[in-house]
Amino acid sequence: MKTRFLCQLLGTQYPIIQAPMAGGILSADFIAKVCEFGFLGSIPSGYLSLAQLEDLIESVKSKTDKPFQVNLFVDHSQYPEEIVKPAEVIELEKSLGIFTSPTCSLPHLPSASAIIDLVIAHQVSVISTTFGVLLDEEYQRIKDAGGKVMVTVNSCNEAYQVLNAGHGDMIVYQNSLAGGHKGGFTDADYDIDDAILTLKRDYPHTPLIKSGGIITHQDIMLALEQGFDGVQIGTGFLMTQESSASETYKQALLELCDDNQLMQTSSITGRQARGVVNELAMLQLSESPTFPLQHYATQAIREHAKRHDLPQYQSLWAGSGAVNITSLPQLADYMFSLVNG
């Protein structure tokens, strides 16, 4: 594979990044194995306390000396300690027999600045951002420590905002085929691949990484032929035997027949995300709290559904490539297939 510049920046053998999927799907052992193979493993900091994140970083470091990245949800907003759940969420809890209170508490999560301090202290070489852009001072601290920043965008407009401000060393372009949350930071619609590749005209030395619809070696080669410098893969890694996704989750994806069984929804977390069509994803809300408030409003439902193997009430995030997955390979075999076809 080409794209030596990206590999040099990342310190990897291959221009392949394991997507930082939050929610307990990725263990330290899983991430370390990805790094050892020559890809860039990713630690998701979303929903973790600072202590939990530090434990995960230290655990990965104990298993590999290869580079990995830490991803953070950039959010400089202040949230209340408790919120009232939407009426529709309360009714759903009652129908499932789990209603206990019309309110829910929000945990105290670390700030982006605190996570950056932790990343620098542990000499993590790459940090990626989702849902926002770092403040000038935050970006500069990472650069002064010798780190590199990847910024997730969904459109050319977002990419140009980042690059014109000099706030990104690499761009992760997440297209409309990607599973999970829409990772950009504006309301801009998704751009198509050809549009985003025009960035190369104005910023030829900024690596552009494609995310969305990439499952196989052939998908990777197509992305490189298009002009992308590398790829980021989520669903393919999720659908390996070693991922911590539940068997119910994996089985739901194996049963997908076509893309019509996937949808974009904001009902689960308050932010647009792509996953399997089910009762929770289709929940109609008259007024939806924003992310992450809705994430915690539906948390009791999702946890109950996981405990009782109820796929209709889980967040089953998946990209369009999931419809082409017919088995659950071992992680090592899947990674081998990505580079050898």
Rounded CA gap, 297 and 85, in Å? Answer: 5
Rounded CA gap, 327 and 204, in Å? Answer: 39
CB 332 within 8 A of CB 121: no
Instruction: Please tell me the predicted confidence (pLDDT) of residue 3.
Output: 67
Dihedral (CA of 214, 217, 223, 228) sign: positive
Rounded CA gap, 169 and 152, in Å? Answer: 11
Phi then psi for 44, rounded to 5 degrees?
-85, 130
Nearest Cα neighbor of 14 from 234, 224, 169 is 224
Per the DSSP assignment, residues forming a β-bridge with 18 are 233
Nearest Cα neighbor of 86 from 276, 282, 275, 283 is 283
CB 177 within 8 A of CB 321: yes
Rg from Cα positions in the chain: 19
What residue ranges in the chain does DSSP mark as E strands? Answer: 16-18, 41-44, 68-73, 82-84, 103-105, 126-130, 148-153, 170-174, 180-181, 208-211, 230-233, 262-265, 273-276
Blockwise average pLDDT, block size 10, the chain, 341 residues: 81 97 95 98 96 98 98 92 96 98 94 96 97 95 97 97 94 97 94 93 95 97 96 98 96 94 96 97 90 96 96 97 95 98 83
Residue with the two structure tokens 């619809």: 213
Rounded CA gap, 257 and 84, in Å? Answer: 38
Instruction: Please tell me the predicted confidence (pLDDT) of residue 1.
Output: 43
Instruction: Please tell me the predicted confidence (pLDDT) of residue 255.
Output: 96
Rounded CA gap, 61 and 67, in Å? Answer: 9
CB 130 within 8 A of CB 72: yes
Residues 6+ apart with CB under 8 A from 323: 256, 257, 258, 259, 261, 262
Rounded CA gap, 110 and 195, in Å? Answer: 36
